[in-house]
Every structure is written in structure tokens, then in C-alpha cells.
Amino acid sequence: MELNIGSNIIHNTSGVIRVLGEKQIYLESEERDGQLLLTMDIYDSKGNHIAKLRRNTWEFNDDNRFEVKISLPSIKLIDKTSGYILIEVNVVDKGTIQILQGKFYTHEGSLIEITPQFLRIENITMRDNTIDGYGSIVAIG
């Protein structure tokens, strides 16, 4: 699978994104209909685990704070309290998934920002990189 994260392209990945040593996001595309499936752990700015989405279904969602919007071929997670989009993911074509935008926290409370131009975690900004993932997990930070 190819992941496009902001302006960064990572070829040959498993669809798992590990952030600061912990698996936080897993992206899949169903073979038969191309439906995007998102698994994601959601944390607050203090690193508290406040929600978990597993294959587009909530395992838990503290205070029903977050909303999933599915519109083929994309998924958006929205914080209903702030109105922010935590993550927007789109299937570009078979085997290519793009994270269009995002603003969410890691298990350590670090902010990750994704725009069409970059991927940023704290003071590190990645832009316009093309990387071979060698069939493995994408590691950030």
C-alpha cells in the first residue's frame, strides 16, 4: 500500500502508522468495494486515551465527543466540541490512501498536524519526501 501523508509519499507500507513508539493509526481498504477502514486511538493534550475507533466503529468515545463521517471514498473524524477535523483520509485508487489533513494528539500529548503541504510533530516538519516503507509500519517520531 502507498500512503500519502501531507506532501510525503511512503511506498510499500502495511498501512500501520506508529507514532512515538505506539501504533496509533491503521488504514485498510476492503478488496471487494474499496471501502476505507480506519482504526485509530485518540488522545487528548495530556495523553489521556479518550476514544478508540476500530474499523469505522467506536470501541469507546468519551462523552460521545467525536463523530465519524463516511462518504465514499473518504472518512473524517470530527471533534464535535471544537469542530476540528482530527483526520481526513481518502482512497485515491487501489493501493493508495491519502491523509488529506489532521490535527490530533499522541499518547504523550504531542500535537500532530497534517496539511496538504506538510506533516508536523512538535518542532519536526516533513514535506515533499518520498520513502520506501519496505512493507512495514510507518514510524513517526
Residue 106 and residue 47 in contact, taking contact as beta carbons nearer than 8 Å: yes
Q: With cut-offs at 50, 70 and 90, classify the pLDDT of residue 34.
A: confident
The confidence score (pLDDT) of residue 134 equals 87
Residues of the chain with pLDDT > 90, as a percent, come to 79
Phi, psi values for residue 64, rounded to 5°: 50, 40
Cα separation, 105 vs 29, in Å, equals 24
Cα separation, 64 vs 56, in Å, equals 15
Residue 50 and residue 44 in contact, taking contact as beta carbons nearer than 8 Å: yes
pLDDT digits (tens, 9 = 90+) for 93-121: 888 999 999 999 999 999 999 999 999 99
How is residue 48 annotated by DSSP?
Answer: -
Nearest alpha-carbon partner for 3 in 111, 126, 92, 117: 92
The confidence score (pLDDT) of residue 47 equals 96
Residue 94 and residue 34 in contact, taking contact as beta carbons nearer than 8 Å: yes
pLDDT digits (tens, 9 = 90+) for 53-65: 999 999 999 999 9
Cα separation, 34 vs 22, in Å, equals 27
0.85 exceeded by pTM: yes
